[in-house]
Amino acid sequence: MESWQCLLLLCTLSSALPSGEVTKNDDDIDLASLLRNIYPGPLVRDEPFIINQDFEINSFKEQGRLQDPKITPQTKDNSDNQDINGVPGPVVLTKDGQIKGITVDKAHVFYGIPYADPPVGAYRWKPPRPVSPWAGVYDASFPRAACVQVCTGPITEECPHTVSEDCLYLNIFVPLDVNFSSPLWSPLPVMVWIHGGDFIAGSASKPLYDGRFISNFTHTVIVNLEYRLGAFGFLVSGKDPHTSAAGNYGILDQQAALLWVQRNIAVFGGDPSKVTIFGESAGAQSASLHLMIQSSKPLFKQAVLQSLPFSIPLKTRHDALKLGKDFAKQTNCSVSDFVCLLSLTPQAVLAAQMKTSSKIVNPFRFLEVFETWGPYIDGELLKEQAVTAFQKGHWQKEKAVLLGTTSEEGVLFVYGVFNKPVSAVECTVYITAIFKQHALRILHKYLPLYRDADRRDMLAQIVTDYVFLCPSRRSARAGTVAGSNVWMYVFDHIASDHRVWSGLSFCYQHACHGAELPFLFDSASVANFTLSPPEKLLSNRMLCYWGAFAHTGDPSSRVHQTTFCREQRLPVWPRYSDTSGWLVMNLTVRSHAQVGTRNHICDFWDQLGY
C-alpha cells in the first residue's frame, strides 16, 4: 500500500480508536494479540509462550489448557547425619541452622535454602516472615519447587516440574577454592540473580541460570532467588494489609532474600558489602525498582539491568484493585471476603489468575496489558514509574549501573503473535491504536525504511526501540548527567545452536529478547545446547565483564581479575558518558565499543516521550 493511503487510513482511525474500538484484520488478528505479547513474555526457555491468534480485546479467550501442575507441600529436609544420602558435602552454619550442600564440577552448591517462612495458609497474602530456625542439618543438595505458575503453549517441557506456594528459597554457588572451615582473608563479591518471566513464570533453578560457571570463572558467590508470582505475589484486593491482599509481595520477597544475604552470606565466603543485583526482563524491572525503594538501599551496592522494558507502566492502585475485583469474581468470593480468598486452593487461585490475566484494565493505557500481574504504585514502597524516577534522579544515584538490551528485542513478541504477514494497512491500525496522536509521526519515521509488503519487521523494530532500547538510553544518559557511573551494551549475536530457542523458529536468525542469557551464564553443558569456539569466547568475555563489575564496579577493570579472565583479553568497555562519545559495548563474537547505531531514532523517541 502506498504511504499516502496509509496516512489517509490513519486519519480515519485516529478519530475512531481512542474510544476503545479495535479493528481486526483478515486473519482475525486484533490489537490485543500485539499488546499481550510485546511485554517480557517469553524469556528463553522460561515463560509461558502463546502462539494463538484467537483473541478478544476486552476478555481474551483463555490461552491453552490449564495444566494440573504438581503443586506440592514442601518440608525442610533436616537430618542430624552430616553425610546426608551418604554423600559428603560442604557444611555451613547460618543464623538459622546448619546447611549441607554438594560439591559439583566447578563449584560448591547449596540448593533450596529457605530465606523466609512458607507463605501458606493465613500467610498467603502477607509480607514474607523471617525463616524459623531448625535443628540438625538442612539438606541443600537438591532444588526445591518453583513458585506456583502455569504453562501454556509449545514449550511446556521447559517449565518447572513441580510448583508450590511454599517456594521462598534460594540457591548459592561458591567457587571450589573457598574453605568453609576457615574465614577468607578477602571475602568474595556476591551477585544476586532475579529471574524474568513477566511476573507470572520462571524459576531460580532453571538449568539456563546455573550459576556455577560465573562463580568459578570470576571468583564470585552467585545467589539465585525465587519470589511469589502472579496473583500469589501481586494480588490487590483492598487497602488494609490486615484484612486484604495489598500487593507487591513478590518485590517484598526479593527484599527479604537480599536481607537474608546480608545476614548470612559471609559464612559462604561472600562479602555483604559488595552485593550486585542483576536480572533480565521482569527481573531487570525488579532490580530497577530496588534502585528506587528506600528500604532496599542498604541491601546491595550496584545493579545490572538486562532488557528492561522501561516503557511498560506500573499499574496505579485503582487499576490494581480493579484487577483484584475481576480476580475475585472468577473465584466466587467477594473481593472484601479475605477469609474466602485465603481458603481457595492454589489450583483455584491459579485458575482465576489465568481467567483474569488477559483483561485490559484501563482501555486508555493499552500497554498495561503486557504485564497483567506485577508490581503497582502503592504510594509507599513504589511511588512512581521507573523511567520517571531515572529522569528526575529519584533513585540511588551513587550506585553503579550496567544496562543494555539485545539488538532485536521485539522480534520474539511480534512474530509470536503474527504468524502470517502483516500488511501496511494492518500495521497502521496497530500503531494508531497504541500511539494514538503520535501515530502519524511514527509512521512517517518508520514506513520509508521498510519496503517489504510484510511489515512485521517494522513492528518488531518499533517494539525494540520504544519499549527497550531508547528508554534505556535515555535513563542511562540521565544517570550519567546526575553523576552516576553507567555502562551500556547491546547484545548483537545470533546463536548458532537453535536449541536455545526451544522451537521458537522465528528467533533462529535474530538476537531476540533473552538471547544473551545462554552466553552470560555459560550454561551450555547443563542446559542442552552448544557454543561454537567463537561463541565460547563471547560467553567467557561476557561473564568476565559481569564479574569485573561485581568485583570493582567497572566491567573493564583488571583489578581482582582471575587468570581465566586475563586470558580472555577483554576489549576495553568505556564508561557511558558524553566525554567518551556515548560509546556502547557491542557484545558479539568480535566485541567492540561503538557509537549507538540507533541514536537518531532514539532522539526521535526522546522528543515524543515514553
Tens digit of each residue's pLDDT (9 = 90 or more) over 527-544: 999 999 999 999 999 999
Please state, in angstroms and rounded to a whole number, the distance separating the CA atoms of residues 544 and 171.
21
Place 367 in a pLDDT band, splitting at 50, 70 and 90: low
Cell of 470: 531508547
Q: How many CB atoms lie within 10 A of CB 522?
A: 23
Catalytic member of 195, 219, 513, 551: 513
Residue 417's CB is within 10 A of a number of other CB atoms, namely 26
Lookup result for grid cell 500497554: 367
Is there a catalytic annotation at residue 21? Answer: no
> Given a cut of 50, is residue 42 above it in pLDDT?
no
Q: Please give the average per-residue pLDDT across 10-38, as a whole number.
A: 39
Report the alpha-carbon distance of residue 463 to residue 419 in Å, rounded. Answer: 17
Roughly what angle, to the nearest 10 degrees, separates helices 424-435 and 3-16? 40
Residue percentage of the chain with pLDDT more than 90: 76
Apex CA 573: angle with CA 571 and CA 577, to 5°?
A: 155
Q: Residue holding cell 535443628? A: 135
Catalytic residue, from 165, 409, 516, 535: name it.
409
Q: How far apart are CA 355 and CA 60, in angstroms?
A: 8
Task: Tell me if residue 281 is catalytic.
Answer: yes
Percent of the chain whose pLDDT exceeds 70? 82
- HSE-up (13 A, CA, CB side) for residue 607: 10
pLDDT band at 79 (very low <50, low <70, confident <90, very high): very low
Q: What is the pLDDT of residue 73?
A: 62
Average pLDDT over residues 391-412: 96
Q: What is the rounded CA–CA span in Å between residue 515 and residue 396?
A: 29
Using alpha carbons, select from 405, 493, 408 the residue that is nearest to residue 456. 408
Beta bridge partners of 104: 107
Please, how many CA atoms are within 13 Å of residue 76, restricted to the half-sphere of its CB?
24
> Whole-angstrom Cα distance, residue 609 to residue 606?
5
Higher pLDDT, 52 or 280: 280
List the catalytic residue out of 141, 215, 281, 523. Answer: 281
Average pLDDT over residues 126-131: 98
**Res. 419 pLDDT band, cuts 50 70 90:** confident
Q: Over 80: is that where the pLDDT of 360 sits?
A: no
| Fold equal for 3-66+313-608 and 70-306 | yes
Q: Do strands 302-306 and 401-406 pair parallel, antiparallel, or not at all (unpaired)? A: parallel
Q: What is the pLDDT of residues 106-126, one digit of tens each?
A: 999 999 999 999 999 999 999
Question: CATH assignment of 70-306?
Answer: 3.40.50.1820
What does the pLDDT look like over 167-213, one tens digit per residue?
Answer: 999 999 999 999 998 866 799 999 999 999 999 999 999 999 999 99
Nearest to 314 by CA among 393, 387, 244: 387
| pLDDT over 70 (residue 525) | yes
Q: Which CATH architecture has domain 3-66+313-608?
A: 3-Layer(aba) Sandwich (3.40)
Q: Tell me which residue has cell 537438591.
A: 142
Sketch the domain layout of the chain as residue ranges.
Answer: 3-66+313-608, 70-306
Lowest mean pLDDT among 61-65, 321-325, 504-508: 61-65
| DSSP sequence for 306-355 | ES--TTSPPBPHHHHHHHHHHHHHHHTS-TT-HHHHHTS-HHHHHHHHHH
Q: Place 417 in a pLDDT band, splitting at 50, 70 and 90.
A: confident
- Mean pLDDT, rounded, for 34-50: 34
Q: pTM surpassing 0.85? A: yes
Distances (CA, A) of 23 to 32, 429, 548: 10, 7, 51
DSSP H stretches of helix in 22-99: 31-38
Contact 583, 574 (CB under 8 A): yes
DSSP 464: I
SS3 at position 304? strand
pLDDT band for 33, please (50, 70, 90 cuts).
very low
Give the model confidence (pLDDT) of 469-503 as tens digits: 999 999 999 999 999 999 999 999 999 999 999 89
* Mean pLDDT on 13-18: 40
Lowest mean pLDDT of 6-10, 230-234, 344-348, name the range: 6-10
pLDDT at residue 85 in the model? 57
* Averaged pLDDT score across all residues of the chain: 86
Catalytic residue at 523?
no
pLDDT over 70 (residue 399): yes
Q: Mapping DSSP to helix (H, G, I), strand (E, B) and coil, where does residue 587 land?
A: strand
Task: Give the per-residue pLDDT at 152.
Answer: 62
pLDDT band for 288, please (50, 70, 90 cuts): very high
